[in-house]
Structure 1
Amino acid sequence: MTAANKKLISAEHVFVDSTHVKASANKRKFEKKIVRKETRAYQGRLQEEINQDRENHGKKPFPPDKFDKEETKEIKESTTDSESGYYVKDERTKQFAYSFHAAADRNGFVLGTIVTPGNTHDSQILEPLVEQVIEKVGKPEAVAADAAYKTPAITSYLFNKEIIPALPYTRPRTKEGFFRKQDYVYDEHFDCYLCPSGETLKYSTTNKEGYREYKSPKQICTTCSFLSRCTESKDCQKVVTRHIWKKQIICVIIKM
């Protein structure tokens, strides 16, 4: 705090990013293990809002065991350095590594750091990293990061902290020849989507990941001239999802 008090560093605008550093471990020497998936920092808050959203739509809330079910994954653990993580960037870049996550001010002075195994996704570390900056230096007015951090959970967290997220625009990832998600217009008043042919996709459910599901009328879609550009579903039904924290991402786009 001394440097902050003397205004040598500032948490006003914080820039977050990470880099991978190769571990001193042979990528061919490993053991495959089944491990428990890490609990996300925001999981408790998300679960509460999922059940509230379901109740608002006349659905029963999920029982606790729906969320508490233990999920596992298979990992490669180095027999040389078990604390590193197997990192895959592309076909050529596969190695055991560490991720160095850092938060810096506008002058490049580091305000906080966290080191994780190389297979830890950047988005999982932003929240504890920002909390570290708040504790040591002060609360930022804005946090800037790349597209890896543009998730509903992160934008929700930052807005709840009254911190402005500065995140980039990302292009829709749509299969060539198909309608983009933005071609399906959301009607906030009636809580539904309108497809390019003008049909209504009504709310169906809110799943345990926090996404509302809106489904098209199968009997109409079967004979629709746009079907081949809309969905490859065998039952001819289009499903559009919308996260319950979607508003936060929209606010980011508007503010930027």
Structure 2
Amino acid sequence: MRHRWQLFELEDQTWFPHVVRQGMMDVLRFLITGLGIYKPVVPLLRKALRHQNQNHLVDLCSGAGGGILQVWQELERTSGQRHTITLTDKFPNVEAYRYLAAQSGQALTYTPDAVDATAVPEHLEGFRTVFSAFHHFSPATAQAILADAVRQNQGIGIFEGAGKKWYELLLVWLVFPWLILLITPFIRPFKWSRLFFTYLLPLIPLGTVWDGTVSLFRMYTPQHLQQMVNQLNAPHYTWQIGRARHWSGTGVLYLIGFPS
């Protein structure tokens, strides 16, 4: 997949039912964690944090938390140092954030206020991360997210839980529906609405497959990311762009930048 199509995802639409959107994000969080999607990029993130002498992350566009709990666990396990993370979103999923805060012993905290990734409040200092969300933004907005990090002299890491390969579409179409049916009873916090919209009115699996397909088409390639970096006029930053290989054979697209 060399090209990018903007298309649309259901979870981005204002008319899409909030309860179904939250259910889809809960499913993704469970899958990302269970499959260890972002484990391959933890060494890269740890190295960037060490270079910045930074142990605090500000996670932008957190959604339902994605794999951030597992990323935090891996950072602490492999570095032997204490790390903290502030979860933020333009539409905060407070219920999910409270759950993650409890699971992490309050190492993961959150702000209940809306946070625009293109204009992060200055008091939210720390190494910025964006997991599974960068593809949602148009090129101009994506560029503005990077530019805001540079303007405030903050490190930033962009991570997408796929490598933008054609065979990943087969995983979304043929494997994801069955996985969702299997895992839904085990997703926490438990919600009756999640069961209803999975087994009786299957909007969550259908929506997840649609959005998963569109996500692959919307993802930026490493070449796209390099073009964005080139337009930032930030020679004092070190940039790393590429794909990290996951054990399943898929990849994790990443862009990491920090002041040299």
TM-score, with structure 2 as normaliser: 0.25
Higher strand residue share? 1
Higher helix residue share? 2
TM-score, with structure 1 as normaliser: 0.26
